[in-house]
Amino acid sequence: MAAVPKVMLSSTSLDLPKYRTAARDACLAAGTFPMMMEHLPASDADAVGVSLRMVEETEIYVGILAHRYGYVPEGADRSITQMEYERAVERGIPRLMFLIHKDVPVLVDDIEIGPGAEKLKAFKDRVCRDRVVRFFRSEDDLRAGLIQALRELPAANPAAKALPDDPGSDLNISSLRAPRRLTPLAGHPVLSPSGYATPVYSGGVQVSFTLAHNGAGKRSINLHALVLEVLRYQPGAVAELAYVIEGEEVLGAGVARPHVFQVTLAGSRVEAARWVVDATRGVVHQARSGNFLDTLEPRVLTFPAGAPDIEEIQGTVLALQSGLYELRFVFHYSVAGEDRDRRSEAFLVYCEE
């Protein structure tokens, strides 16, 4: 008889008792065992140690975030809730994240203020960058969403591991080294200075990716996060990279097509991406975090097994601050609940004052 998978339920406790109960019931309904810590030990050391040991002993992590950052032990700079999440990240176990919807009414006392509110926002931003999150509006909503998520997760269903005849479903992503995948902004030259292994795109660059199921296996694929990483930023002018814009300068993503974005860089900071919904009317949807797909209605691209679905993602990267940027994109996706990621080739952008 297979062992019952253990699930760590992580959240603040005083403000979310009814939601923790709903999550507990969901775990039991999905055939898993919930690991809960309703009352912390007397000492901070015990509280941290016991909670992290619980994460070590579980196969799945479930995080529930609302409007409180949580208890920060004396001498620490992070809450126990965030420490639990980070330990789950270190272990590489599946993480299911649920955030309370902004329209759910809450008590004033259950809303963090001051430095804790800033830390909570940073924590939520990180979670949204790491993976797709689910929003809940009630206990029933959370219970149903968690049951579904657990039942779709291989770690929660040992008998449903990869089938022997499944040669390996995965996501195909086009290479940026292929022709016309990186193209210059209109009027901007592509620089090829001595000593640089790759071209340098002036002012910014237009990028294009084609994504599709690899056709192998029987597993569906969900792309839930797209992130632009700044690998290196060298501020200021670089003499050998001086350039002149020729003709009329044209900025922007161009003609609106499915999945067209624009993102700007300010030094080492990547601003929130904007998706072009209707270029003729100027309608855009802005991401809420560094995850391009984290819009008000989260974008998740699904690639069913056996279907010829192909998705095209196009966009414009604009540098606003003088300097040399080394960049790459990271795609975070899941195959039957198993989290994977793929990184694009790095590319260079240079911006003058």
Instruction: Tell me the percentage of the chain whose pLDDT exceeds 90.
Output: 42
DSSP string for residues in 197-235: SS-EEESEEEEEEEEEE-S-SS--EEEEEEEEEEEEEEE
| Domains of the chain, CATH where assigned | 6-160 (3.40.50.10140), 171-351 (no CATH)
What pLDDT was estimated at residue 298? 65
Q: Is 118 helix (H, G, I), strand (E, B) or coil?
A: helix
CA distances (Å), origin 302, targets 95, 118, 144, 197, 287: 19, 33, 21, 36, 19
Token match 């008000």: residue? 296
Mapped onto helix, strand or coil, the DSSP state of residue 260 is strand
| pLDDT tens-digit map of 193-238 | 888 888 999 999 999 999 999 888 778 888 888 999 998 899 999 9
Asked whether the beta carbons of 228 and 292 are under 8 A apart, the reply is yes
CA–CA gap between residue 313 and residue 336 (Å, rounded): 23
C-alpha closest to that of 10 among 93, 116, 117: 93
- Alpha-carbon Rg for the chain in angstroms: 23
Highest mean pLDDT among 40-49, 248-257, 329-338: 329-338
pLDDT at 248 > cutoff 80? no
Read off the pLDDT of residues 293-303 as tens digits, 9 standing for 90 and up.
Answer: 888 776 678 88
Q: How confident is the model at residue 280 (pLDDT cuts 50, 70, 90)?
A: low
Comparison of pLDDT for 4 and 111, the residue scoring more: 111
Question: 251: pLDDT confidence band, cut at 50, 70 and 90?
Answer: very low
Per-residue model confidence as pLDDT tens digits over 78-123 = 999 999 999 999 998 999 999 999 889 999 989 999 999 999 999 9
Alpha-carbon distances, residue 59 vs 33, 145, 174, 197, 209 (angstroms): 10, 19, 33, 44, 34
Q: Kindly report the pTM of this predicted structure.
A: 0.56
Res 281 pLDDT > 50: yes
Q: How far is the C-alpha of 82 from the C-alpha of 330, rounded, in Å?
A: 23
Is it the case that residue 284 has pLDDT exceeding 90? no
Q: Determine the pLDDT at residue 252.
A: 37
Instruction: Check residue 38 and give its pLDDT.
Output: 61
CB-CB contact of 326 with 273 (8 Å): no
Query: Given this model, what pLDDT does residue 162 score?
Result: 44
Q: What integer pLDDT is reported at residue 250 of this predicted model?
A: 40
Nearest CA among 271, 286, 282 for reference residue 319:
271
Stretch 258-265: mean pLDDT, rounded? Answer: 83
How much is the pLDDT for 279? 60
**Residue 327: pLDDT over 50:** yes
If pLDDT is split at 50, 70 and 90, which confidence band does 158 have?
low
pLDDT at residue 255, rounded to an integer: 34
pLDDT for the residue 257: 46
Mean pLDDT score of the chain, rounded to an integer?
Answer: 84
pLDDT at 134: 87
pLDDT at 58 over 70: yes
Task: Answer with the residue of higher pLDDT: 224 or 43.
Answer: 224
Least confident of 36-50, 55-69, 124-138, 246-260: 246-260
